[in-house]
Structure 1
Amino acid sequence: NSNLTYVSNGDSITSYLWQFQGADLTSSSAPFPTGINYDTPGNYIVTLTAENGCGPTTVADTFEVQGAIQLTMPPDDEVCVSEAPFAITANPSGGTWSGAGVFPNGLFDPAQAPPGPNQLLYSYGVGACEVQGNMTVVVNPLPIVNAGPNQSACISQTAIQLNGTPAGGAWQAVNGGAINGDQFLPPASGEGTFQLLYDYSDPTTGCANVDSSLVQVNPLPVLTVPDTTYCNTPGTVFLPAATPAGGTWAGPGVLNPNTGAWDPESAGGVGSYPVDYTLTDANGCTNSTNTSVTVVPLPNINAGPDVAICLDDGVFQFTGNVPGGGLWIGSGIVDSQQGLFDPDVTGPGIHPVIYRYGAGSCTVKDTLLVEVIDVTNTTAGPNQSACQSDLPFLMSGSTPAGGVWSGTGIVDPQTGLFDPAVALDGTHVINYTYTDPMSGCSRTDQKLVVIHPTPVAAFDLPVQGCTGQTLNIANNSQGGAVYQWNFGDGSTSQQPTPAHSYADTGTYLVSLSVESAFGCTQTTENEVFIAAAPDPDFEPDLDDGCPDLFINFTDLSAGFQTEYFWDFGNGQTSTEAQPGGPFLYPPGLVDTTYLVSLQLTNYCGTRFHTDTITVHPLPVADFGITLDTGCAPVLIGFNNVSIGSPDYFLWDFGNGQTSTDSL
């Protein structure tokens, strides 16, 4: 009833007719029929017709009758908890799974299910057609595996026993260690830390697990014991320091194994003796090495005779009858192995120097005396500088007097006269050498004389220019730091490349003085001629006239290197400064004005001057009359048609009458 609603629309329904296609009850007139059964699966149509006083209305619907579902479940399963998720499939597929560890789509994750049997439910279909089935998945835990504690061994150890639990698993090395069964082999593995894996499978469930442990293979201590030599003298010496320290000594002559005390005489005197050194390090690894101890007789040495040297002789080397390998000791020794003595370290006086050879019981010495003779402190004075263009000058500041000068630029060694022109620019080392007349000891001191190059003053500018126009000046100087320009018109500039223009014409001397950063100067100069644009002007001998009108023109122009072009306005032209004439200006019917122009051009520009010439026409008298003949008295009209712009008229009518009227 909840799926069916009747709407009568104002008039009661009087009849109902149901049609059930394929049902055991094919029709019904009840409003809400019951007991309709379908025995065969398929799609069926139901039709309902309801009628009231206004007529019938029919509706229809379709529905499906499903057949019985045969569900086939997968067999029960047994898995390890470590296995990856896997799909469980029932037939027909498309249903929904539920239970521990399973997703609705049938994906089973052993890690999400508890250990042991897990019952899974599969549902397929909906409503009365839904069917269900179940299956069991047993999840087995992994075995508990222990590879044992980490271990360490010396590389000399033959093998290490590996103890993994439960027994029966297999060992393998991850990073190159050598394994034989359940034994780790340090010599074959080498030094380092090795990771070992113990893999065990449960024989009942087949589930496997793995554990790891580390084996540290330590090297044997590296022992260093130098061979050594002792002299055959009585008394105790100590064997050379071994590395690492802390080991024990054994062999002939060893008095104390721990300290290395050794007696050459008890070992046997002059000769060579083997001695062993043994050490166990912090890792418990033990190693031994052998060294040779030699006993020799004491040597004889002679440091040589006493010597005398000058304080400023520089480093002196001793050459005595001494064996190599000893040390020179004393004030002034700057290289104890080479026997180098520096008198500047000791200063003047007598100084003992010792040559010591050997060590310990083999030490022997000899002494000589060194007398250092001083000369008066010699100085060349402070450094000097000059310009290359300077005159020769004397070196200054040297003491004591009487020394000799040398070096590039010195032209008189006795006076120290220095010529910059000889030395050229650069830094020059100048020597001042003073020799003591009594001892013959001499000393040389040096100073630096810096000759600064003379800057090159050079510039280019046009040989000629125009007033009011900026000159194109190119500064080609070299080595300048300060520039001083003088343009010859009272103007100056300190710009490297200045801009300048001249207001007046004329010839100007432009000078440039260049000063370097060191105060050295050079000056150069160039001339420039400044012109102006031309000033055209002319004067005609007449401004106007009557025909035939001939005009002469007088040139009054001013300008430099000027080109002329005359246009006389009458079709004639000329390029002469003073054109020949006269020039004819023909008349017209009225006053005719001619424009005369003069164009002057030079490298500073073009200018024009114009004037006009007016030609008055000649008058031509003419008139017309209204009647040629007539009866007296007759009135005749006169029409003045004269040309030539007349300004005065005189009529004579032939009858004794006259008139000055223009009409």
Structure 2
Amino acid sequence: MATVVAIPLLKNITVNAQPTVTLGNFTAVCANAPSFTLSGGLPLSGTYFGSGVSSGSFDPSAAGNGIKSITYKFTDANSCTDSASSNIVVDSVTTLTFPALANICGGSARKAINIATPIGGIYKGVGVVNDTLFNPVLSGTGTFTLRYVFTNSFGCSDSTNQTIGVDTIPIVSFTIQDSICVNNDSLNLLSTPAGGVFSGAGVVGSKFSPVGLNGRVGINYMYTGANGCFNSVADTIRVDSVTAVAFAIPDSICFGSPAIPLNGTPMGGMYSLNGNSYTNTNYSGLMANSVDTIGYSYTNAFGCIDSTVEYVRVDSVTQVTLSSFGSICEDDTINLTNGLPLGGVYSGLNVIGSQYVGDTSGTWRISYTYTNQFGCIDSVDSNILVKSKPKLTLGSVGLICENTSDFLLTAGSPIGGIYKGSGIVNDTTFSATLAGIGMHSITYTLQDTNACTDSINFTLTVDTVPIVSLDSFAFACRNQGLLNLTGGSPIGGVYYGTGIIGSNQFDPSIGYGNYQVGYKFIDGKGCQDSLMKPIIVDTLPQIVSAAVEDICQNVGLLTLTKGNPATGNYEGLGIQSNGQFDPKSVSVGIDSLFYVLESRCGIDSLKVKFNVLAAPEVDLPPYGRICDAQEGLALTQGKPAGGLYFVDGVESTIITARLGRANVDYVLTNASGCTDTASASIEYYSNPEITVVGDKAICAGDSARFRVKEELVTYIWNGDTASSEYFLNPKDMILGENLVKLKGIDSLGCASEVMVRVNSSLCGFSVKAMPNPNDGNFALIINTGTEQEVDIAVWNTHGQKISGFNTVLIAGKNEFLYNLLDSAPGMYILEILVGQDLIIEKFVIK
């Protein structure tokens, strides 16, 4: 039997039963909850340990947010100790912000106060309604504290305060007289306290003007105090209308003119003349070249007065003169300028405005009337002599056609005069071409020995020539015989030109070419016109040659080489509407088309044979995406084999790894020389770079924390998908080196793997058997930095437990003496269990 003793060597060690300790679960608490006494640990009278624990109470604010481990430790009467742990969750309290509230005025509208963040809480305090509004009517004036209370998703509540001031509003007043006439001067508006703002119709600053108003008019006075609060008061004033007076009199009169009645309205008013009362109801000018002032005023039932003033200028009359006129010819017109002063009006028989027209020979009277600048009139008369003029006649001119040559005019009598009008050249000649078709007014003018001139108007008519039309002639074949010509209009004309026989036949035997043929027609007035059109004489077509080269079936639409002559076209299977040939429309092998040459005189064709060659059909499967940009790719995917590969246009047998996109073309040419191409693209991406930062060494019982610097889509830690941050639990680690495998996948689906090493050790803990080897008597020395509970056992290599006990190590050096003299020589194993960590120490008994 093995014996274990502590120093001194002669003292026995009693191994007592270890107490069984349990600790119940804790409910979650808020970070701002008050401290509370911990309970749930059994047996009672133990001690609680952990973050935020003090004297058996737990303070959430001291512990901080998160999951906190609470340990309950109990030591029995034998000083044997056991402990149990349980987690308590400290839920965070949401930080609240309640911005400052501006002061408002008493009696103002309700103000929204829901500006605290985060939203979703409730507001409390004097004047708060509906949890979101503040009503200054309910609160009265003063400063009030409002509280905002918010409960987060954990059920944790917090609150914050803010103040709001309700200011008093000023007391204001003003008075104004009861009524005012609309044409009165402005009133000064007086108020208490001064310094506010008046508003309303007719208000300008602190004055009221009744101009343009009528009836009751409201005036408002608003005053804003030093605290920004305002109040207003209103009053009214009656604006009485004035009775509009009207008084019409000419602006001016001529001295000595009849008296003018005075007609002021409404009746019953008072007149004045030049500032003096005037009781006469008629007015006449007192003195020439003067201005009289006539006033009229009227007072209505409201006592409001209106008046008007008219000014009358009394003007003098200007004396006029008119010198004698010279003689004129009949129908002549002269400008009348003999009257003085200038600017008067002439009148009399045949006077038009300031001109006189000598309509009939003889002596005639002309009057001149002058109105001066004042409108005063004077007039005088004078005579004018009108002389007779020559009498003209006109003879016949005759027929004129549109295409008549220019001719000399001799129709006017007596001769010696000149002609004017449309188509007249050099005063004597008429040009029908210049005048154009239609009726043209011509004037013939002659001056006699009295220097009097007469003229006569007549009309020359230029008749139209017949409108000749000629349809285009159809082509003629050289060998078809005489052609009867038609298409000339109007009918009844004759055809003329090369090849014409008689009046309407054409002989095409004159040979191949283009011939001009005319048609002439004379109308009933004797005017004629003609028109010419070509006749084309053609011959039968003839093909000289045509050939088509062999064609690969996959070349697409093809423009075939024209034959000789090149004016022909190919016809047959595969010929498209645009004249191109589609080889896919026919079978592989010998095919034929017809080369057709067509003219208006006939058709010629030639059968052309050629070979349609079979083309290869190639395929190149898509490459898709390749993540590892370090690996190249051999090009062997094209089918059938034997073709050439081109990477981005350059012939190659591999795709060299590179980042980005590459285009691959596979080209295969068969024995017939026909080619087909297939294309595909490949995209290279580099695998993601992964940098893991975190713990490299930890103490046993602690978690290891790792974080990936790069942003990836998927993080797989030791086979489990997680986030960029990973915690390795103590239960998943052993003492010594632990490996963590991370596979990271980026947004392109490319992945990289890294291994992270973390070393777990019992910090400050060492175990040693001395001496080793030994004869069965040896000391087990354990050094530890803290008080710890351990289980110690000895095992042989057959798995048999030799000895074992539980004890609590003190901080520092702990020594245990073993007496295993009865044990057989060989290797033995010391197991020291510290929490969940097992330490192995081997020793040998000789």
TM-score bracket for this pair, using the shorter chain length = 0.3 to 0.5
Q: Report which of the two has the higher share of strand.
A: 2
Report the TM-score, using the length of structure 2 for normalisation.
Answer: 0.34
Under a length normalisation based on structure 1, what TM-score does the superposition of the two structures give?
0.41
